[in-house]
């Protein structure tokens, strides 16, 4: 572990209290002609409380990390287990924003959502080291700094790549107070099969966007994120603003081809065109655009290490386990046998894309809340209706 960077900058976000009236997170977007859809970004502060710096010590010096502390912990005192949320490849802690609001309305808990190495707002000396071992150690170090020698009970929840890292973290016992493990839509067999087509998928995405709104629009209309609210808060963690002195070749003034624009009323369209012209003028003056924060194609050498042997590793973790899938076809042989033997609980959430927790945050929160209460990890909040 001699090559561990001195500049480790991880972002942790912790929950805000649910807003009055709750979120319409489970509602589907309605494709109505004549209605202008709002692709403007939503602030992280609507879902999370604060962002704080945390210093992580290692043998080579200090690593810098960002955290967002839980309002429940800071203001109301420690109450309930900690949900440690690990996002998928290319995403960020903001991927969990809407889910966090929902789960905090269901059960007594605290939430910490991390930006994994080289993702989101992280700044590391060696961002190319995305090995499962390194990222799992990162998580252990962050937990140690946040909670010291006596951490509270922690439930690790990971999506896709983050799910794989959650399993590696649990298997290596980097979180000694581990309460349980929840893995969302990642299975060794299907993940390994998908690796062959992953580069083609990455090449098919637009390389740039003219604005953050443009990126949000693409994510929704392409189906990457099927929940408008989640897309508006989470895409800011996937893309970053770039500015150059001259217009960069290949910078697209529109999102990827093949996306059908909705019709608008003439009055709305005229107003919208004026707004777009003004935005385009501003963009031209600044000569800025948005591009992906993480070049996922360059992480290919780590993909196999994330997923190979994952099913066996998952099954050997002694903590109670929950597997949430977007489709039952994703189960591989080892997990099918393990599920029949009752080694973990599984739930399929149909009509979701791969980003299950973004597409259906209420369904994921309900499944997790039921699992945790059944295992007596926590209690439902007073007044929570089921």
What amino acid positions are annotated as catalytic residues?
Answer: 160, 185, 354
- How far is Cα 291 from Cα 215, in angstroms, rounded to an integer? 9
Spatial neighbors of 191 by CB under 8 A, at least 6 apart, are 164, 306, 307, 310
Token reading at 71: 């309002």
* H or E stretch at 347: strand 345-348
CA–CA separation, 315 and 63 (whole Å):
33
CB-based contact 108:148 (threshold 8 Å): no
Tokens for 135, please give them: 């990222």
Instruction: Give the DSSP per-residue string, 113-171.
Output: EEEPTTSTT---S-TT---HHHHHHHHHHHHHHHHTTSPPPEEEEEETHHHHHHHHHHH
The distance from CA 202 to its chain's CA centroid, rounded to whole angstroms, is 18
**What single string gives the DSSP state of each residue in 62-120?**
EEEEEE---HHHHTS---S-EEEEEPPTT--GGGGHHHHHHHHHHBS-EEEEEEPTTST
Q: With contact defined as beta carbons under 8 Å apart, do 306 and 159 qualify?
A: no
């Amino acid at each position: 572990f001699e090559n561990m960077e001195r500049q480790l900058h991880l972002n942790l976000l912790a929950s805000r209290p649910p807003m009055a009236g709750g979120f319409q997170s489970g509602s589907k977007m309605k494709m109505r002609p004549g209605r202008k859809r709002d692709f403007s970004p939503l602030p992280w502060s609507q879902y999370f409380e604060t962002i704080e710096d945390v210093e992580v010590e290692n043998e080579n010096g200090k690593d810098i990390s960002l955290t967002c502390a839980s309002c429940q912990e800071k203001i109301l005192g420690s109450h309930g287990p900690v949900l440690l949320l690990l996002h998928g490849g290319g995403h960020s802690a903001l991927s969990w924003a809407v889910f966090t609001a929902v789960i905090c309305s269901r059960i007594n808990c605290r939430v910490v959502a991390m930006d994994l190495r080289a993702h989101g707002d992280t700044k590391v000396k060696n961002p190319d080291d995305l090995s499962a071992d390194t990222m799992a150690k990162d998580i252990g170090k962050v937990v140690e700094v946040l909670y010291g020698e006596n951490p509270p009970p922690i439930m690790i929840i990971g999506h896709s790549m983050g799910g794989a890292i959650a399993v590696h973290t649990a298997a290596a016992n980097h979180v000694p107070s581990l309460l349980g493990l929840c893995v969302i839509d990642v299975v060794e067999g299907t993940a390994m099969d998908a690796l062959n087509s992953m580069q083609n998928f990455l090449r098919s995405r637009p390389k740039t966007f003219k604005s953050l709104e443009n990126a949000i629009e693409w994510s929704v209309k392409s189906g990457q994120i099927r929940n408008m609210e989640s897309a508006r808060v989470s895409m800011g963690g996937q893309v970053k603003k770039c500015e150059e002195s001259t217009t960069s070749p290949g910078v697209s003034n529109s999102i990827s081809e093949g996306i059908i624009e909705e019709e608008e009323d003439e009055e709305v369209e005229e107003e919208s065109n004026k707004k777009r012209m003004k935005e385009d003028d501003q963009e031209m003056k600044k000569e800025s655009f948005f591009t992906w924060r993480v070049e996922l194609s360059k992480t290919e050498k780590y993909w196999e290490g994330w997923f190979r042997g994952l099913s066996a590793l998952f099954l050997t973790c002694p903590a109670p386990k929950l597997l949430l899938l977007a489709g039952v076809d994703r189960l591989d042989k080892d997990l099918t046998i393990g599920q029949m033997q009752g080694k973990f609980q599984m739930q399929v959430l149909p009509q979701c894309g791969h980003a299950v927790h973004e597409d259906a945050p209420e369904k994921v929160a309900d499944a997790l809340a039921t699992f945790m209460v059944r295992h007596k990890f926590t209690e439902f909040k007073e007044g929570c209706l089921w």
